[in-house]
Amino acid sequence: MAQSDLLTELDRHVATLVADPSTTKVDTKLFSDAELILPNHISPQQTLNLVKSLAALLQVIQVDPAPVVNLLIKLLEPFTLDDILAFEPPIDFVTGLNTAAPVCINRLMLELLGKATSKASDAAVVAGLQGVVGAVVSCWLTTGDVGVAQKAGRLIIDLLRIDVVREGGLGQGLMWKRVFGDVDVYKLLFSLCSLQDEHKLGKARISLAQARLMDWVSEIAVMDWATVVKSHHVEVERAYGVTEGEGLLAFTVLGMVDAAEDLLMGVSLVDFYSALLGTKSSTSTSPALEWLIAKGVHDRTAELYLQDSDSIESRFLYGPAANYLAKYAELYPMHYLGSNMAGKVNAHLLVALDQSPARWAHAESPKYDLHLLASVPRTSLLVHTSSLANYGNRSPLSLLPSKATNADVLNTLATIFHGPQKEELTFPPSASSSEKGSRDDIEASLTRMVYYNYLAENPLFWQNITRHADTIALVDLALAAINVIAAVTTANWSTTSTLAMPNATFPTPPSGHLAILSPPALEYTLPYLLAPAKSFSHLVGGRGDSESAAYRIGVAKHGALKALQRRIEEQARAEPGEGYDEILATISRRVATGVTGNREGEVGGRVATMDM
């Protein structure tokens, strides 16, 4: 159908719906076709006329207006906020944002207001619209539709972000004044999330609102920490149990959630603490961390992980508390090491990770403990002299097995042995980036020591890793083993540490790829990587799930080999004539054969079995 014919038919159908909305059925296919074709093929005047017709239809339609709204959203894409506000009669945003309206109408209002998020002057205009910001806040916190809630919360965040007052910026701060300075809007953040007003919304809807507010506050805290901490309207804060001088953050953390009565919200609250830690300023501390410590939240959260309890609350909150400590140790390593937390965590990990080979191989993995282990600074994983013995006289890393093991353990070892992630250089470097770079160099050096210490205690490590990697019957375990090979190959190590290396009978090269090419790894890793990929096809016939799994393992193996190839290329350029060219030629020949490699002459025997 030609565009002109489609437009004519749509105009006729819209006119019929307006004239007789009670008996005329909406032609959803016609609206769908119009949404796909018309916006890019009709003139601006035709677009404007159609928008007015559809707006009139929305006033009288008695069935689901979603097809009409979807077309309107598409037609209004090129319109600016000024264009939208110039419509006659004016758009009633407050009514359209009421949760009693259809969800698609809420979505339309949010789409239109979203046009203000690209210009600070437009955000200021929205801040000045009577009742609109409060309507967005109410819609965000009370709607039962997840998509609308996300869109409304994101709209407020984006409007605040574009309107931040900063040196050289265009933000006027009017949106901030509306949200935090307007007592009616500010009060909504408390009243719609407080259990004091449970009778108005119901506990389930209040719990949803609380979760949304926590996500929102963590983002606002990154933009302006002072705003979420300080008091804005004493009478509002006092009415909801907030100590005088405190603000929205104190309500959200200390007064909003009853974790004892609602364990799921307790989980969300601990996750919120972790999100707050992201507002960091250095590896030593941040306003967020200091605030959490001052309010006793930090120690209480740590105790949820460290305590020896089998209560329902402990079982629910153990994992989130472990994740909080992992975030703390990762983002604030100097603070973590300078406190007594490192010793307590190590002591707990030594108990939590002390499991029998059968449990490691077949029981549920202690994934939260492993995640925490992978996040702590490497120096706390080394056995130090007595002057630094607050970390303990045994490393919890030594409890991770490489033979009777599981995928989580191997992925944890891969993360630890790889070292800190390399970040892109920025110019000029900031003070925080310089501090992080210095810290990362220390971590890179300690990572190398951790690897060789573990290898000294586990001389069969690489034999076990390649055996797991070749066991395609256990896909996750095989992929995790290959991940270990790739992680060490591409490891970010340095040799700046002055601590003594372990007394080992094997070489301790300065880089991961050279460690792969040195005993005890060499006799296992290189033959494994150069061998053709294995397959189940000759046993099961066709290409079912087993063959697909074998191919996934083959792809991972080929990727690890290519990573080694790139590192050896760099090594050969840096040290010509040292024999790396021959190794590189061998690796390159295997890489060139692709994922599967050359299988000529391979008859049976391609399925690795488990050691029983």
Structure tokens at 188: 């909504």
Report the SS3 class of residue 150: helix
pLDDT in tens, 38-64: 999 999 999 999 999 999 999 999 999
- Band (pLDDT 50/70/90 cuts) for residue 543 is very low
Is the distance from CB of 295 to CB of 246 less than 8 angstroms? no
608 phi and psi, to 5 degrees? Answer: -75, 145
What is d(CA 530, CA 580) in angstroms, rounded to the nearest whole number?
16
pLDDT above 60: residue 135 = yes
pLDDT above 90: residue 317 = yes
pLDDT above 70: residue 605 = no
pLDDT the model gives residue 547: 60
* Residue 598 CB burial class (10 angstroms; 0-12, 13-18, ≥19): exposed
What is d(CA 80, CA 233) in angstroms, rounded to the nearest whole number?
35
- For 161-230, the DSSP string reads HHT---TT----SHHHIIIII-HHHHHHHHHTT-GGGHHHH-HHHHHHHHHHHHHHHHHHHHH-HHHHHB
Structure tokens at 279: 């507002």
pLDDT the model gives residue 439: 83
Is the distance from CB of 38 to CB of 1 less than 8 angstroms? no
Residues 6+ apart with CB under 8 A from 102: 64, 65, 66, 69
What is d(CA 356, CA 373) in angstroms, rounded to the nearest whole number?
18
pLDDT in tens, 560-602: 999 999 999 999 999 998 889 999 999 999 999 998 876 543 4
Give the other-Cβ count within 10 Å of 191's Cβ: 18
Is the distance from CB of 199 to CB of 256 less than 8 angstroms? no
What is d(CA 117, CA 102) in angstroms, rounded to the nearest whole number?
24
Is the distance from CB of 213 to CB of 189 less than 8 angstroms? yes
pLDDT in tens, 505-535: 899 999 999 999 999 999 999 999 999 987 7
Residues 6+ apart with CB under 8 A from 546: 536, 539, 540
pLDDT the model gives residue 539: 43
First to last CA, the chain: 68
pLDDT above 80: residue 424 = no
Query: Which stretch of 66-75, 186-195, 501-510, 581-590 has the lowest confidence by average pLDDT?
Result: 501-510
Average the pLDDT over 291-320 and give the result: 93
More confident residue, 386 or 268: 268
